Structure 1
Amino acid sequence: MSLTPKLKAAVASALLATTAMAVPALAEGKLTVSSPQDPGSWDPIDTFLVNWASAATNIFDGLTYRGPDMELVPALAESWEELDEGTRIRFVLRQGVTFHNGEPFNAEAVKFTFERLLGDEGAKGPQQSNYTAIESVEIIDDYTVDFHLSAPDPVLLTKLAGYGAMIVPPKYVSEVSEQEFNLNPVGTGPFRVVSYDPKVSLKMEAFEDFWGDQAKLSELEFRFITEPATAVAELQAGRVDVVIPPTIPISMIPTIEADPNLTLATAPGPTVYSLRFNTRDGITADENVRKAMIMAVDRDTIVTEILGGQAEVIASLQGKLSFGFDPDLEPLPYDPETAAQLLAEAGVQPGATVQIDIRGNDASFGEVTQAVSAYLSTVGINATITPYETNTLLNDIIPQGKTGAMFQQSWGGWTFDYDNTAYSMYHTGEKWNPYDSDPELDALLESQRPLTDRAERERILREIAAYAADRALEMPLYNLNAIYGVNNRVRNFDPAPDNRMRLNTVEVE
């Protein structure tokens, strides 16, 4: 007998509750994690950065949760039920949950969280557009809420497991300044924040009143180490226990594998890498020039020789695990002769220059970009590479449309649903789409969002991928494995494909 989604949720909830009733052992031990980026704000509505989620998944909870096994299970909602043909979802909330500051979790907290996300405060950040199907949150009683939707959203339950949908404490958020909450976040997760030193570290301790599996660690620290060689050296010295993606350069994998005290842990991840084009200015405003530049680059050789086979060439901004992936969509071939012909037909003179903007701390991608530059030079295009501090590139250069002809876009697509990527990359007015506006593409993106017919929605997502590829909106490069370096003293560590690590079950010797 197969279980309905509602029954599955109820069974998983019962198992979580049974586990939570067990008397926990006293937490002990400290785990130190090296992260390549400080997100700069811990407010869930302020970011889409995977390095935010790596730490914040331990601070906050959503109504749902999805772990490394990719299964969606209850979190702050014990169960849910879709009503009115998918335009209303009723959530039964977990009782006896408290925030780190002692506030009670209840229906008021859920309503406050989503009204904040969908209001003026949320409009300042990149998250709001993912939740616009939610028209209102109605409180039925203290532990029951109804989400009223403008149309069904087939990805909403997964979205509720991450980023902007993390539940926040109403009283605390209302009383402190926006800056205070950015720096001193409060959630319901297994760890509470003790201190935050921007660009240095985030320190946490086990939260004794956590509703689920009590943390086996007494302390958890995230150190923000931007330089990959430094992070690996700290791992070798034992001052760091885990180095998370995308820190470890492919060139340093043999170093980790040769160290008897370390383990390399990998998982097929959602992260795809591309060089997006400035479609507004210069030679890359010409679609045929963009196609020529793609065809000038041998991406298969890049994956083999630079990435050590830890990646796979992509035709669109998604990997094989993504809903919407089309196995029949082929990447443009490596064909420098045709590339040179297209450039000549477009009037691009030999010696034309382009600027490529990248994240300065991503050593592996830096090597990839050097290879791209070398390939482009063979068809007469001279590429200069400009590295930026990551937050500067992501929060200033790209959104403000101040990039060169090409810019690095590494995208997690953590929902493993192409909508999460495509809407953010291609829809007019989105933060990550500073240059392009295509009414036909906008219509396609909007048309698939309310569909409950899975096959029809997949068909449209594949059409979107093909349309974007035909317009050559980016140079799709590869889907990279999530690569972790782990000290052997760490126990029960499960490498998360999407970097969203829940570390309450991890132990250290």
Structure 2
Amino acid sequence: MKITRTVLSRMVAGAALSVAFSVSAQAGSLTVASPQDPGSWDPIDTFLVNWASVATNIFDGLTYRGPDLELVPGLATEWEELDDGTRIRFTLREGVTFHNGEAFNAEAVKFTFERLLGDEGAQGPQRSNYTAIESVEVIDDYTVDFHLSEPDPVLLTKLAGYGAMIVPPEYLAEHGDDHFNTHPVGTGPFKVVEYNPREDVQLEAFDEHWGGAPKLDEVTYRFISEPSTAVAELQAGRVDIVIPPTIPIGMIDTIKNHDEASIVSVPSPTVEALRFDTQSGITADERVRKAMIMAVDRQAIIDSILAGEGEVIASFQGAQSFGNDPEMEPLPFDPQRARELLDEAGVEPGATVQIDVRGNDATFGEVAQVVASYLQGVGITASIQPYETNVLLNDIIPEGRTGEMFQQKWGGWTFDFDNTAYLMYHTGERWNPYDSDAELDAMLEAQRSITDQGKREEMLQEIARYTQDRALEMPLYSINALYGVRDRVKNFDPAPDNRIRLTEVDVAD
């Protein structure tokens, strides 16, 4: 069944438009403030939204999904599902080159996925997203077949991001993985010309890009972890765009009141929760976890700290997520019932918990303080432990060394609950250091083999209800993506998932 015919005419028109752009004058330089240096630019090494914010401009996938959330051809011009969804044939775009001049072809696709699914990929966090792929078969220079162990209803979306970005075989063979981490080469509209760890990464327009040359000559991403510094640089004109989640809610008016900058707010898939250590301490008891959730007024947090830029969530996903049940209610704010549950569990007043948070996330730091205050109201004393973000995400959480509660911010970039739920709840996954539930594992595995999307949606909703019943985390809110943008920036299309493609962006003199 051909599934991309409906978008091909649009792509032809878009290609013609891109050619027109490629012969126009380029418009200078853009500087973007990003809150975090990912540390490696290799697509298989990362799960960070801040990686994707930059790397969406460096790499291409076989498919592409832009700010409108529609899936369209990328390095593949079309694809066809065969053998009841266990084989997908991709027709590849011809005439594409990597930034180093190396040709893109079927061998590059095969190499990319064998590397992702092999020993190198096993060292990173992305491989589990693509394990349905058993092998990639080269049919000819511009045709590949993906052989799947079972249908993966989210695979085509996954191919638009992160670990599935196509990498150059010859370049990696010559220079090695360590060099590639800091000197990445892709087929995207911009190429890396200089990377200064913890400071910045500088990109230059790749005029030979298959979609046409970018309007900008160059883009610099500065890594500014301190929100007040990023906002000050925006006000001073030394930064043109500040990307989420940098801007604290308390600084929205500061930007709105500036003569040459504004706030751009869009609903996003990003959700925040405080997850529990379900293995030890008082949070090993399901009654205690439910009590802690019911002790916290999440709507009050949104109103007072987020200035209304969010929505209470019942499960660890936003309203746009496939698998979200709009009829599912969050556990209510009910301090009296919370105290009753704590009494039933034998928790004495004065019991202590630790909440681990990202130290550079000013807004969530305020949220954590309010959560601690609510917990104090039911007799639990919470201390807050900040960590450098990379340490928390790469060491503390995966190694199961957190306190009783720990911050989990999740981009949900596939807009499909599978990509969140499997990684959060399946036994042995990186983001599930404590819990093992055979029934939940079976539910997660079963929905991945279902091709009937209506039935799969019902199964995902059932998973959400199951995790709520077990109180595996305190779901807090989905939050809007807030961009700070200088008025000189033109044609900027804010992405809900922070993956901003800058091909069409230009700047006024």
Pairwise same-fold verdict (TM > 0.5): yes
Q: Superposition pairs for residues 70-469 of structure 1, below 5 Å?
A: 70-469=69-468
| 1:58 and 2:52 correspond | no
Residue 281 of structure 1: how far off its partner (Å) = 1.1
Partner of 1:42: 41
Letter in 2 for 1:5: I
Q: What is aligned with 2:470?
A: 471
Q: What is the CA–CA distance in structure 1 between the aligned matches of 2:14 and 2:131, rounded to whole Å? A: 30
TM-score when normalising by structure 2: 0.98
Q: Deviations over 1:241-272 (max 9, x none)?
A: 00000000111101111112111101110000
How far 1:178 sits from its partner (Å)?
1.8
> Take 2:305 and 2:158, find their aligned partners in 1: how far apart are those partners?
34
Structure 1 position 83, deviation (Å): 1.1
**Aligned residue number for residue 17 of structure 1:** 15
* Secondary structure of the structure 2 residue equivalent to 1:266: strand
Q: How far apart are the structure 2 equivalents of 1:394 and 1:359?
A: 9
d(CA) in 2 for partners of 1:460, 1:55: 34
Q: Residue 5 of structure 1: which of 3, 25, 31 is its match?
A: 3
Shift of 1:457: 0.3
Contact 1:9 1:80 (8 Å CA) reproduced: no
**Could you tell me whether the CA contact under 8 Å between 1:65 and 1:72 is conserved in 2?**
yes
Whether the aligned pair in 2 keeps the contact of 1:213 and 1:505 (CA below 8 Å) is: no
* Deviation string, structure 1 residues 68-118 (Cα, Å, up to 9, x no partner): 000111010011111111111111100110000110000000000000011
Alignment partners' CA distance in 2, 1:90 and 1:48 = 27
Contact 1:12 1:73 in 2 (8 A): no
Deviations 1:224-244 (A, max 9, x none): 100001100000000000000
Q: Given the superposition, is the C-alpha separation of residues 4 and 263 from structure 1 closer, same or farther in structure 2, using an over 3 Å criterion?
A: farther
Code of the residue aligned with 1:196 in structure 2: it is Y
Distance 1:454 1:108 in 2: 32
CA–CA separation in structure 2 for the residues paired with 1:271 and 1:74: 25
Q: Distance in 2 between matches of 1:380 and 1:84?
A: 58
Q: What's the offset of the Cα at 1:13? A: 3.3
Given that residues 272 and 318 in structure 1 are in contact (C-alpha distance below 8 angstroms), is that contact kept between their aligned partners in structure 2?
yes
Q: Which moved more, 1:262-271 or 1:173-182?
A: 173-182
**Contact 1:352 1:382 (C-alpha < 8 Å) held by counterparts:** yes
Q: CA deviation at 1:26?
A: 3.4
TM score, norm. by length of structure 1: 0.98
Separation of aligned partners in 2, 1:6 and 1:31: 34
Looking at structure 2, the residues matched to 24 and 460 of structure 1 have their Cα atoms a distance apart, in angstroms, of: 50
Structure 2 runs not aligned, ≥5 long: none
Q: Deviations over 1:388-420 (max 9, x none)?
A: 110000000000001000000000010000001
Deviations 1:114-138 (A, max 9, x none): 0001111111111111111111111
Describe the superposition over 1:140-169 as per-residue Cα deviations: whole angstroms up to 9, x where unpaired. Answer: 110011111111111111100000000000
- Number of matched pairs: 507
Separation (CA, whole Å) in 2 of partners of 1:8 and 1:225: 42
> Match of 2:16, as an amino acid?
T
Contact 1:272/1:412 (CA < 8 Å) preserved in 2? yes
Q: Give the conservation status (yes or no) of the 8 Å contact 2:289–2:471.
A: yes
Task: Mark the runs of 5 or more structure 1 residues left unpaired by the alignment.
Answer: none
RMSD: 1.1
Per-residue deviation at 1:4? 6.7
**Residue 45 of structure 1 aligns to which amino acid in structure 2?**
I
**d(CA) in 1 for partners of 2:362, 2:60:** 32
- Following TM superposition, by how much is the alpha carbon of 1:175 offset from its aligned partner in structure 2, in angstroms? 1.9
Residues 254 and 20 (structure 1), Cα distance of their counterparts in 2 relative to 1, 3 Å cut: closer
Task: Give a deviation string over 1:318-350, Cα, whole Å, max 9, x none.
Answer: 111100000111111001111111111111111
Amino acid at match of 1:444: M
Matched letter for residue 10 of structure 1: L
One-letter code of the match for 1:178?
D
Give the 3-state SS of the residue equivalent to 1:5 in structure 2: coil
SS in 1 for 2:191: strand
Query: Take 2:336 and 2:95, find their aligned partners in 1: how far apart are those partners?
Result: 67
Structure 2 equivalent of residue 29 of structure 1: 28
Structure 2 residue matching 1:203: 3-state secondary structure:
strand
CA deviation vs aligned residue, 1:162-195 (integer Å, no higher than 9, x gap): 0000000001112223211111100000000011
Distance 1:409 1:362 in 2: 12
Q: 1:398, 1:434 within 8 Å by CA — same for their partners in 2?
A: yes
Give, in whole Å, the separation in 2 of the partners of 1:273 and 1:98.
Answer: 39
Q: Secondary structure at the match of 1:239?
A: coil
> Is 1:9–1:78's contact at 8 Å kept on the other side of the alignment?
no
Q: Secondary structure at the match of 2:24?
A: coil
Q: Report the 3-state secondary structure (helix = DSSP H, G, I; strand = E; otherwise coil) of the residue aligned with 2:293.
A: helix
User: Shift in Å at residue 16 of structure 1?
Assistant: 3.6
In the TM superposition, residue 505 of structure 1 has moved relative to its aligned partner by: 0.6
Q: Displacement, 1:20?
A: 4.0
Distance 2:18 2:257 in 1: 40
Residue type of the partner of 1:242? I
- Paired residues of 1:12 and 1:74 also in contact (CA < 8 A): no
Question: Is contact 2:15-2:212 (8 Å) kept?
Answer: no
Partner amino acid, structure 1, of 2:491: N
Q: Which amino acid aligns with 1:231?
A: A
Report SS of the residue matched to 2:4.
helix
- AA partner of residue 5 (structure 2): L
Equivalent residues of 2:2, 2:81 under 8 A apart: no
**Matches of 2:40 and 2:167, distance apart in 1:** 14
Q: Tell me how far apart the structure 1 counterparts of residues 222 and 24 of structure 2 sit (CA, whole Å).
A: 27
Matches of 2:50 and 2:247, distance apart in 1? 14
Rate the CA distance shift 1:374–1:251 in 2: closer, same or farther, 3 A.
Answer: same
Question: Cα offset for 1:9?
Answer: 3.6
Matched letter for residue 230 of structure 1: T
Is the CA contact 2:4–2:72 (under 8 Å) kept in the aligned structure 1?
A: no
By how many angstroms is 1:213 displaced?
3.0
The share of aligned pairs that are identical, in percent, is: 69
